[in-house]
Amino acid sequence: MTTAPTVATPTRTPLHRLLYLQVLAAILAGAALGALAPEIAASPWVEALGKGFVKLIKMVIAPIIFCTVVSGIAHIESAAKIGRVGVKALIYFEIVSTVALALGLLVGNLIQPGAGFSGKADAAAAAKFIQPGAQKTGVEFALDIIPDSVVGAFAKGDILEVLLFSVLFGFALMATGERGRALRAVVDDIGQAMFGVIAIVMKAAPIGAFGAMAYTVGKYGTQSLVNLAWLVGSFYLTAILFVVLVLGVVARIVGFDILRFLFYIRDELLIVLGTSSSESALPQLMEKLERLGCSKSVVGLVVPTGYSFNLDGTNIYMTLTSLFIAQALGVELTIGQQATILAVAMLTSKGASGVTGAGFITLGATLSAIDPRLAPGMALVLGVDKFMSECRALTNICGNGVAAIVVAWWEGELDRGKLV
């Protein structure tokens, strides 16, 4: 008598072991601590939990970008393909960024969140954000992409500087042909090791999210959010409309569902929500996009570049908040001036990275360039900028994830069998 073979049933991961549930619980616990014990939550040690986690992630971003970009380029047979992918990415970035800027203006004019505002501006609190040196010309921005030294680029962790050197190194390695095979293998192995480091660091994600959220609520309090809830609500509404409608249409054209994609990157979204920095999820996003069917070369070029050239959340924030400040200060803006906001914001947003607070700094540069009367009004939104920072970062990471899929599809390097 023969016994039937036993079929192994797949083991399900316990709920308490799921990263996104751990991070979500940590965020809720942090918010509760900030509301119930603000003096403890606002302490330097609690703040250090969030800052420390972000620093751990940023520690490996530069080498991961270097290894990913170099490996992607070095394994490509034709140099013309690199330029083709880059041009397609920039075209997509500019189109979607313009839509995001225009959507912010549209919602700002329809809802008018700053009309009848009676708050007081603390100009001294915002003075550090509107220093004359905060605004860069196009020439200065272009020169800043070139690092003073290769070591300096990696030491500072500047994404664009590291990206430039990585592209050049990748081309040089590609040109060596068979002689560079051993070095390519070393770069690939280092890249895998760096993702292993990220896997270890991510175990501390709930602790980082808890500290960042507790400190935010404890320091700024819930009342500051209530005071400007209309602006915050308008911004969140606009960002949701952009992701669901604009990115949703783009996703439908490519052949996937935006909501299923958001669920696929739920771990990264919750990490960004807790840390207010889209950079904190960059390495994991790149790895997941490759597993989703995007080629390594496309992901390696599009995602790091998008962190400086495709900041959809920052774009919405700048146009909507600019209108809020103008309405709150009673400054009438003509259609031409609003068009100027769109054009200026398109340039100033390119200097913003995924680091917390960068959007507020670029807002100062935008307002100063449009109308000096608007710059002091930044103090009106200083109290709630931290609450909008989370939404900026979330929208940015969604936009860059979709961008990589679109460019891979456009380039014919999207494995639809793996696509969600």
Range of the domain at 165: 18-410
CB of 285 closer than 8 Å to CB of 34: no
pLDDT at 415 over 60: yes
- For tokens 């994830």, the residue is 401
Report helix, strand or coil for 203: helix
Closest C-alpha among 358, 348, 211 to residue 277: 358
CB of 45 closer than 8 Å to CB of 155: no
Q: Is residue 4 part of a domain?
A: no
Q: Spell out the SS3 assignment of 76-140.
A: CCCHHHHHHHHHHHHHHHHHHHHHHHHHHHHHHHHHCCCCCCCCCCCHHHHHHHHCHHHCCCHHH
Q: Count structural domains, the chain.
A: 1
Give pLDDT, residue 281: 81
pLDDT single digits (tens) 196-205: 887 788 788 8
CB of 23 closer than 8 Å to CB of 205: yes
Say which amino acid occupies 322.
S
pLDDT single digits (tens) 216-229: 778 766 554 454 57
Q: Is residue 330 part of a domain?
A: yes
Give pLDDT, residue 180: 81
Give pLDDT, residue 302: 86
Angle of helix 266-275 relative to helix 282-291, nearest 10 degrees?
170
Closest C-alpha among 292, 207, 300, 200 to residue 251: 292
Question: Per-residue pLDDT averaged across 80-90, rounded?
Answer: 79
Give pLDDT, residue 7: 42
Q: Is residue 205 part of a domain?
A: yes
Q: Is residue 417 part of a domain?
A: no
pLDDT at 126 over 70: no
The band of 380, judged by pLDDT with boundaries at 50, 70 and 90, is low
Which residues touch 411 (CB under 8 Å, ≥6 apart)?
Answer: 81, 84, 85, 88, 295, 298
Q: Is residue 416 part of a domain?
A: no
Give pLDDT, residue 347: 62
Q: 256-260, 311-315, 357-361: which has the minimum mean pLDDT?
A: 357-361
Q: Is residue 418 part of a domain?
A: no
Q: Is residue 106 part of a domain?
A: yes
pLDDT single digits (tens) 300-313: 888 887 877 788 88
pLDDT at 385 over 50: yes
Q: Is residue 415 part of a domain?
A: no
pLDDT single digits (tens) 14-30: 766 777 778 788 888 88
Give pLDDT, residue 122: 47
Question: b/e map of 316-341 (b: 16 or more CB within 10 Å)?
Answer: bbbbbbbbbbbbbbeeebeeeebebb
* CATH, residue 178: 1.10.3860.10
Higher pLDDT, 10 or 195: 195
pLDDT-above-70 percentage for the chain: 77
The band of 420, judged by pLDDT with boundaries at 50, 70 and 90, is low
The band of 4, judged by pLDDT with boundaries at 50, 70 and 90, is very low
The pair of structure tokens assigned to 73 is 């380029």
The pair of structure tokens assigned to 145 is 């992409």
pLDDT at 384 over 80: no
Give pLDDT, residue 222: 57
Q: HSE of 113 in the Cβ direction (CA atoms, 13 Å)?
A: 27
The predicted model scores a pTM of 0.67
